[in-house]
Structure 1
């Protein structure tokens, strides 16, 4: 492998999939690497949702030209062009390296192995010299490049001892969380917050949920879940009203009871899994690291439970722990297959890049100049005054990767008052009981949190010390915990200095930190979009790249047309003739349901839906597959991922998915 730049892409490409919104992957992303001798550097990681505006981006690229256009736009600010890329892997259609580099690790899906590598290799030196217990636990694998992934174990665990990897199947409770979200219509984060906020009866299941290792286990798991739902409904309907939490609706009370069941089962199953691994492989957790990846690794209480139960030496997980980091895992796996002795360390989460114009250009533009009262350089005293008055927008340099804001695309606020939490939840249109995370200076965590240790990516939930809770009510969840981001000066010097200035004045070494986005949209990635957000929400102050912007004329802005650079899209440069494109992609006019079922099944995907001679056989097979939906529980995940009620005619423009579509999609493939 030559020195130079490489691309690993967790995306999909296809005219049919683009036109009919057939999702084979979600949270799509692209990693740019630089190889220099034995050293590998992650230069950028682009999450497509930040550029398209589609939460959990699911839409395919229209064609290879569309992919290359997107890549060219991302490379240009770095002084690179597509011709500078030595190789691409991970996405059929643009892959230049056809090596099945994941097969050498056993009969496990590419998807799960990429999750494992994304976590276990954050620091290659630890990987080579230490001992790591790794878990890749999410909803399930995709089958875009690894055609037989659905026939393999869905989830993977691993033991790494001095660079030698032993991979084995492990179970996951992630499908239960998907069913929970489907049943109650709330995302996992909201459900977990609700479960700990809502007081009410607890129900202990008589039988533990069946472990889910693969597709064959879904039927029993689905029956267990439905049985528990029946018990919860009976309990909540029969209980006296005073036993329920009057602050919440009957449905929310039921959701809280059921979520507490799933959370307890999740923690117990993970504990049993780790305990078995430690025993079988004779591992002392006190001298080993726990590495977590996959969507279930976003479960902060479960991560905390494992760390507190076993006393691991350290916790390893990337900020992009869900599918948004799979391109990174694919890249590390490929480099490792090529040369085990390469050097790599995940140096910073702020490798997400940015779009839009510079501060000077935006402030001087006709769209925004009437709404900027003042532009000045950062001042610690002024920052303190601003934070005390109310939430401020912070938009700086490269964006953090992953689903959680880590300071560069954040709303910051004073943690010393409950009002801050209420304001932030109102600004973001969130439920009143949703907690707000703190970003806290790392050297002060022991004084504020129980059993604390570094948590730079907001993946651990610490208990706030009882004597400190009254001092920081905005960051305390109703159960007394906080999903903390610990911050060192090396990680983000500017943000560190801002919090330190606040700490010198107040004695509180932390701020409220929540992501810069509205409900149902991805984190904002251009200064234009950040200012648009601030003006619409009537937030007076924006900190950007060492500057302070003071905004004004909010009412006038509300009635003005959206400025250029605010709206995000995902369309190729060449205009699409929609009617002609649809005729070319679907000449035999299969229904959207037929197209979805065909493309999601690797065996059916190989059949030519444009060939009239194959059509009768294809339709017969599709009818057989569709008939199984009432008999096989695993098919419901496919059903939930795709909107079968959507019109067969493709949309005339590429717009963001609805919130309902986005939530449905998250049920499958991680």
Structure 2
């Protein structure tokens, strides 16, 4: 039994017991978004889910190298409190980018691939490239923490008044409202298999230099961001901010494409992770380079997936020693906590709530057709940043006005798009540039077909792209049945799916969390397992 731990921002834990996987991030349990620190609750939760004890753990795989004495002492104290005085016998440290790349390669189902991680920084590097063969990973390229593509994009995020290392997705969304107006090759370029930062600085110093480059008033950035958040996109400074976002996104895509083309010469398949792999538009560029069936983006691609990467790296090395390693394909990420019917009923009674037992697919489809906003809570929670039908808020994608209702209810930025969950067999019909297996994890942007734009305007972004989850019956039969019922009633095999949380809060984990968000957001209906509560 192997325990993977990430002690840092996006802390979490994974427990690997032969073919059983249990994973959760600390933020879902302590309700602190992107929690930084030791994942004590996560460690205890994965042990509980596996019905295991601390002494059952044979290896503790820790993501990251702890160079600072105070941080190392703190980690050791936390591990000792759970695993006892001899915990050091079990600990193996796995370097940051190796953990990222391992998370993607060892879940891809491929024997041979290129494994790449790109982020802001970790253990002194910002990117790593590996040739992966027969379970072995050999590094052939890297970038230092100074030559960081992730930090470049984070600095643009900060420049525009958003929170760096958290709101990069807002910059990507905003970029679609304008056209690139700046050539950024003098800022950062690709040099071989490494990125090269011509600014020579990172973090806030890079943000200041970018403000000079763009002649953008950094002191007014938060005020401008607030206007953008409200949908005020036409002011002079707002238009400039959109041009900067568009230029940064275009440059990121250009560099990722250049790297992809170089890597394509070395191998036909790419396994990809790291914070920059959250950028679904850039991922689409890589998909066009490698092909739909030759690009795998690990679903928990950000630092929240490091515990998984550390754990599966150690597991693989032990299997290789014994000559037992075989490629493994991750079929789903429903790896988190789940709650039984009795638990839910006891909670609802204690809260004094009226509820009804329903046939979930038929009931949810009916209330969606009525224009209701529905919170859906079922089964095991998703691992990673996307809600994929078990901790989701659903709406009718045919009604474009539902976007405004959801933005107000969830306190979201107006310019951010919503995504669809669609029936697997409808993907070819709804996605114009699909040329292979559709994406199941919302890690990829596609061009929506003309038919889909017309049928489902609420889940198509202003640039005609969409970020779908293709749902297979055999993977999530309950969620598939909801969409299939909606299809029967409306003729469209897709629903709007956004994560079950208020903006700035973690996705709900427990039924109690779901009830809290149901009330705060003013949703019309929440369905917890097969029990429905109406507002």
* Alignment TM class, shorter chain as reference: 0.7 to 0.9
- 1:498-647 aligned within 5 A: 498-545=482-529, 547-552=530-535
Alignment partner for residue 168 of structure 1, among 123, 134, 140?
A: 140
For residues 347 and 3 of structure 2, the distance between their equivalents in structure 1, rounded to whole angstroms, comes to 31
CA contact (8 A) 1:137 1:156 kept: yes
1:184 aligned to 2:160? yes
1:10 aligns with 2:6: yes
Aligned CA RMSD, in angstroms, stands at 2.9
Counterpart CA distance in 1 for 2:103 and 2:49 is 26
Asked whether 1:471 is paired with 2:450, we answer no
Give yes or no for contact 1:127–1:160 (8 Å, CA) kept in 2: no
Structure 1 SS opposite 2:485:
helix
Instruction: Map residues 231-380 of structure 1 onto 2, 5 A cutoff.
Output: 231-233=213-215, 247-279=233-265, 281=266, 283=267, 288-311=268-291, 313-340=293-320, 341-343=324-326, 344-354=328-338, 358-365=343-350, 368-369=351-352, 371-372=353-354, 374-380=355-361
**Count of equivalent residues:** 485
Distance 2:92 2:48 in 1: 30
When the two structures are superposed, what TM-score results if normalisation uses the length of structure 1?
A: 0.67
> Whole-Å Cα distance in 2 between the matches of residues 206 and 83 of structure 1?
54
**Unaligned stretches of 5+ in structure 1?**
12-24, 36-40, 62-66, 103-109, 142-148, 237-243, 553-670
Rg larger in structure = 1
Residue pair 1:394, 1:543 contacting (<8 A) in 2 also: yes
CA contact (8 A) 1:42 1:346 kept: no
For residue 418 of structure 1, what is the aligned residue in structure 2?
400
Q: TM-score, normalised by structure 2?
A: 0.83
Measured in 2, the distance between the counterparts of 1:484 and 1:98 equals 41
Conserved 8 A contact 2:422-2:494: yes
CA distance in structure 2 between the partners assigned to 1:266 and 1:209 by the alignment:
9
- The 1-side partners of 2:217 and 2:304 are apart by 39
Measured in 2, the distance between the counterparts of 1:29 and 1:246 equals 37
Report the Cα distance in structure 2 between the residues aligned to 1:466 and 1:507, rounded to whole angstroms.
16
Deviation at 1:216, TM superposition (A): 9.5
Distance (Å, rounded) in 2 between the aligned partners of 1:215 and 1:202: 22
In 1, the alpha carbon distance for the partners of 2:508 and 2:481 equals 23
Shift of 1:184: 1.8
Q: Name the structure with the higher strand share.
A: 2
Cα distance change of structure 1 residues 215 and 510 upon mapping to structure 2, 3 Å threshold: closer
The answer for the alignment partner of 1:627 in structure 2 is none
Quote the Cα distance in structure 2 between the aligned partners of 1:300 and 1:70: 28
Q: Is the 8 A contact 2:360 2:482 kept in 1?
A: no
1:119 aligns with 2:101: no
1:210, 1:224 within 8 Å by CA — same for their partners in 2? no
2:428 alignment partner, one of 420, 431, 446: 446
Instruction: Tell whether the 8 Å contact from 1:469 to 1:476 is kept in structure 2 after alignment.
Output: yes
Per the alignment, residue 188 of structure 2 pairs with 209
Q: Structure 1 residue 221: deviation in Å? A: 5.4
Residues 258-316 of structure 1: CA deviation (Å, up to 9, x unaligned): 1222212211211222222333x3x3xxxx32211001001001010111134363221
Q: CA offsets per residue over residues 602-638 of structure 1, 9 Å max, x none?
A: xxxxxxxxxxxxxxxxxxxxxxxxxxxxxxxxxxxxx
1:436 maps to 418
Distance 1:496 1:405 in 2: 14
**Is contact 1:210-1:221 (8 Å) kept?**
no
* 8 Å contact kept, 1:173–1:211: no
For structure 2, list consecutive stretches of 5 or more residues without a partner in the other structure: 64-74, 80-86, 219-227
Distance 2:360 2:195 in 1: 57
**Distance apart, 1:254 and its partner CA:** 2.5
Q: Give the Cα–Cα distance (whole angstroms) in 1 for the partners of residues 213 and 89 of structure 2.
A: 52
Cα shift at 1:251: 3.8
Distance 1:97 1:217, change over 3 A: farther
